[in-house]
């Protein structure tokens, strides 16, 4: 069986600056990948590459064995941290929009029986994300959590092959965030989704997904901080990972974060990390997949 997403020797550079280097990754349908890493480590760039908003400098990304289209399309759903929903449409219309755009290339509107079908489908999806009571409300009248629920429904109604989540709960209160975790977990199971989720919150990454990808620099040159990009330094089946691994990764990530203004320690840190990695994999259990570690 071909993997849902196959990434081969992916590089992304902006002029002199290398953002991502040498990433090889194979993600099966049904995986829930959470992506963590220090700020500016390229995890958002990685998501934009998957989305098609950016193209790789080298290497390729295959979706179900086919090269990815170089612009966003309906096979990939996205929920951003903000601005994912359309302020001029009610919740129901927001969710219907995708069905209407797909069904009516010219007018972008459906009529008659087709419209009723789209309406029912959208209403059912809103019900599934817990917005059954707010069909006619405009996004402005919804709380942050409800807007993210709406954005999820909007994407899911298109049945995308992969769902990309860019820090979707970053702006929410902790209590609401827990509710959203439950919701996303349930939607993932019920709809057979393949998910990539960026998060700042390592705990969230650890408990929500089936596979944790940590992005970090593999090499570091303090004199030329832009010369090396980030790769995948940990690739763990987190369902079986233990607390100690979590703590170690947390320490690694926060060290990288602290080193953002480059110093001599940076070199040390990046030298010690590859050594730490196999142990981390062992802690996590036999199933740890080896990521793109050594260039």
Partner 1 sequence: MKRIINQRPRRGAALLLGLLPFVLVVIVYAFASDARLTANPNDKLLPSFATLGETVSRLATEPSKRSGDIELWKDTAASLQRLALGVGIAALIGLTFGVLLGALPYLRAGLAPFVASLSLIPPLALLPILFIVFGLGELSKVVLIVFGIAPFIVRDLQQRVQELPREQLIKAQTLAGNTWQIMLRVILPQVLPRLIDAVRLSLGAAWLFLIAAEAIASTEGLGYRIFLVRRYLAMDVILPYVAWITLLAYLTDLGLKQLSRLLFPWYHGKEEHA
Output the smallest distance, CB 157 to partner 1, in A. Answer: 9
Interatomic CA distance for residues 100 and 88, integer angstroms: 16
Site for partner 1 in 34-63 (CB under 8 A): 51, 53
The answer to the question of residue 78 lying near partner 1 (CB under 8 A) is yes
Q: Where are the alpha helices (DSSP H) in the chain?
A: 43-51, 91-103, 112-128, 144-156, 174-191, 202-208, 243-258, 265-284
Mark 102-131 with x for binding to partner 1 (rule: CB under 8 A) and - for no binding: x--xxxxx----------------------
Residue 22 CA from chain centroid, whole number: 19
Return the residue of 44, 46, 56, 100 that touches partner 1, per CB under 8 A: 100
Sign of dihedral through CA atoms 11, 222, 39, 278? positive
The residue count for the chain:
295
The answer to the question of residue 80 lying near partner 1 (CB under 8 A) is yes
Return the residue of 16, 71, 192, 223 that touches partner 1, per CB under 8 A: 71
Q: State the number of binding residues for partner 1 (CB under 8 A).
A: 37
What are the strands of the beta sheet with 17-27, ordered from one edge?
A: 66-67, 58-63, 5-14, 17-27, 230-236, 211-217, 32-37, 195-198, 162-166, 76-79
The answer to the question of residue 82 lying near partner 1 (CB under 8 A) is yes
Site for partner 1 in 151-190 (CB under 8 A): 151, 154-155, 158, 160
Backbone angles phi, psi at 36, to 5 degrees: -125, 165
Site for partner 1 in 137-156 (CB under 8 A): 138-141, 151, 154-155
The site for partner 1 (CB under 8 A) is made up of 51, 53, 71-74, 76-78, 80, 82-89, 97-98, 100-102, 105-109, 138-141, 151, 154-155, 158, 160
């Amino acid at each position: 069986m071909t993997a849902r997403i196959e990434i081969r020797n992916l590089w992304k550079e902006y002029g002199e600056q290398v953002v991502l280097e040498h990433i090889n990754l194979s993600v099966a349908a049904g995986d829930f990948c959470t992506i963590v890493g220090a700020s500016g480590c390229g995890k958002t760039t990685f998501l934009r590459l998957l989305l098609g908003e950016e193209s790789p400098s080298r290497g390729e990304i295959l979706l179900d064995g086919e090269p990815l289209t170089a612009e966003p399309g309906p096979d990939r759903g996205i929920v951003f941290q903000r601005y994912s929903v359309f302020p001029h449409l009610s919740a129901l219309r927001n969710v219907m929009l995708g069905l209407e755009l797909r069904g009516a290339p010219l007018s972008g509107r459906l009529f008659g029986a087709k419209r009723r079908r789209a309406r029912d489908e959208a209403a059912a999806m809103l019900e599934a994300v817990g917005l059954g009571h707010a069909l006619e409300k405009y996004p402005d009248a919804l709380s942050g959590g409800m807007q993210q629920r709406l954005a999820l429904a909007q994407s899911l109604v298109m049945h995308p092959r992969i769902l990309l989540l860019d820090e979707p709960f970053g702006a929410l209160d902790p209590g609401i965030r827990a509710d959203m975790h439950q919701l996303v977990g349930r939607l993932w199971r019920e709809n057979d989704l393949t998910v990539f989720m960026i998060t700042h919150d390592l705990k969230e990454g650890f408990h929500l997904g089936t596979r944790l990808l940590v992005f970090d620099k593999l090499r570091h040159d303090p004199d030329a901080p832009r010369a090396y990009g980030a790769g995948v330094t940990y690739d763990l089946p987190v369902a079986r990972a233990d607390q100690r691994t979590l703590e170690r990764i947390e320490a690694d990530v926060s060290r990288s974060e602290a080193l953002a203004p480059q110093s001599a320690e940076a070199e040390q840190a990046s030298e010690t990390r590859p050594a730490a990695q196999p142990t981390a994999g062992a802690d996590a259990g036999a199933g740890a997949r080896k990521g793109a570690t050594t260039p």
